């Protein structure tokens, strides 16, 4: 097993949910509209993701597992304009260096499905014909089987699964058009059917619970090239909700001090030690106005006009809460 790959894996692949994140992003990049996520034993035994996306051709299967083969960042211009969720070009190589990974795929234009996996110290890719509908399955077994130190950092199956569940919620709230299914140990845990724009509240209810949607106020505000839309609920409505804060910037989930500050200020004295703000909000602005790759793992974001964005969010959320209280 290549040491370089394992070091890279250590940076990206911290726990089962990190694997799920990378695989789901790949499926979405491939245009998938249906995703089935099968987890066994919190992901330490198995993480398997099936999609109906564009697939990987036989010739490209070994490349997909090779490090540095697919980096999409060709220039600084690409980096600035980056819209795609994945950009490192080595997630599969990293994951396959710390697990038993197989990649099975069939592009619609290819008659036969093929399966690839890597074996041995030099990560040579093996190929065999397989049976698979149009799309791709990535099967990750025995995560960290060869890195005991990392394995020791894993928590209970339940905790690891909860991380995956939370990750899927974040994705469910960013891609209403994609059907997501999550199973744990052969049991169905979540099912998020695809919804049209007019039915988005149905998915929000599935993710956030009806305690949120029953009390939520919808908002859509546009000004100065900024658009903020989504739902906010007065905090008393869901004070038992452990995690009810979702903020997306141009489709990507962010957790950022400036954004938090604007929202907390908008909630004002509605908040106290027990009551946290609950919201599902989407900020849209020109990509040149924002850098969402400052620190992808920490979900931080940098705006050209930070003050204006802050005040826009503050005003919009405050007015929505006031309107909801009337």
Q: What DSSP string describes 172-224?
A: HTT-TTSEEEEEETTEEEEEE----GGGHHHHHHHHH-HHHHTT-EEEEEEET
For position 4 contacting ligand ADP by CB under 6 A, the verdict is no
For position 182 contacting Mg ion by CB under 5 A, the verdict is no
Nearer to ligand ADP, 18 or 213 (CB): 18
Candidate list 37, 92, 232, 317; residue touching ligand ADP; CB under 6 A: 92
Evaluate whether 110 touches 95 at the Cβ level (below 8 Å). no
Q: Closest distance between ligand ADP and the C-beta of residue 215, in Å?
A: 38
Q: What DSSP string describes 217-283?
A: EEEEEEETTEEEEEEEE-GGGGTT-S--EEEEETTEE---HHHHHHHHHHHGGG--SS---EEEEEE
For position 2 contacting Mg ion by CB under 5 A, the verdict is no
Candidate list 70, 104, 213, 316; residue touching ligand ADP; CB under 6 A: 70
Site mask, ligand ADP, residues 23-62, x = CB under 6 A? ---xx-xx--------------------x-xxxx------
Phi, psi (degrees; rounded to nearest 5) at 185 = 50, 50
| Distance between CA atoms of residues 197 and 176, nearest Å | 8
| Distance between CA atoms of residues 8 and 67, nearest Å | 10
For position 18 contacting ligand ADP by CB under 6 A, the verdict is no
Q: Work out what residue 201 binds among ligand ADP, Mg ion, none; the CB cut-off runs from 5 to 8 Å by kind.
A: none
Q: Work out what residue 53 binds among ligand ADP, Mg ion, none; the CB cut-off runs from 5 to 8 Å by kind.
A: ligand ADP
Q: Which residues bind ligand ADP (CB under 6 A)?
A: 22, 26-27, 29-30, 51, 53-56, 64, 70, 72, 86-93, 136
Provide the binding-site residues for Mg ion, judged by CB under 5 A: 26, 86, 91
């Amino acid at each position: 097993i290549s040491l370089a790959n394992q070091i890279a894996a250590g940076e990206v692949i911290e726990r089962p949910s990190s694997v799920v994140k990378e695989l789901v992003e790949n499926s979405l990049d491939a245009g998938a509209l249906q995703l089935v996520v099968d987890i066994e034993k919190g992901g330490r035994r198995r993480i398997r993701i099936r999609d109906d996306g564009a697939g990987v051709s036989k010739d490209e299967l070994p490349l997909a597992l090779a490090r540095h083969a697919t980096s999409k960042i060709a220039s600084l211009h690409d980096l600035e304009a980056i819209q795609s969720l994945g950009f490192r070009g080595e997630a599969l190589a990293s994951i396959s260096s710390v697990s038993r990974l197989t990649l099975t795929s069939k592009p619609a234009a290819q008659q036969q499905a093929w399966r690839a996996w890597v074996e041995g110290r030099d990560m040579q890719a093996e190929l065999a014909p397989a049976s698979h509908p149009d799309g791709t399955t990535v099967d990750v077994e025995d995560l960290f089987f060869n890195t005991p130190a990392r394995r020791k950092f894993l928590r209970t199956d339940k905790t690891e699964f909860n991380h995956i569940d939370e990750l899927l919620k974040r994705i469910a709230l960013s891609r209403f058009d994609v059907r997501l299914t999550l199973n744990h140990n052969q049991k169905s845990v979540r099912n998020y059917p695809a919804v049209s724009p007019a039915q988005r509240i149905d998915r929000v209810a599935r993710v956030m619970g009806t305690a949120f949607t029953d009390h939520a106020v919808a908002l859509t505000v546009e000004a100065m090239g900024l658009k903020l839309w989504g739902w906010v609920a007065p905090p008393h409505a869901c004070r038992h909700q452990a995690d009810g804060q979702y903020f997306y910037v141009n489709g990507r989930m962010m957790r950022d001090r400036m954004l938090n500050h604007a929202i907390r200020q908008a909630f004002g004295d509605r908040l106290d030690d027990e009551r946290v703000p609950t919201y599902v909000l989407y900020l849209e602005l020109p990509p040149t106005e924002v850098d969402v790759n400052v620190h992808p793992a920490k979900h931080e974001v940098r705006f050209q006009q930070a003050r204006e964005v802050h005040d826009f969010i503050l005003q919009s959320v405050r007015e929505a809460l006031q309107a909801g209280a009337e």
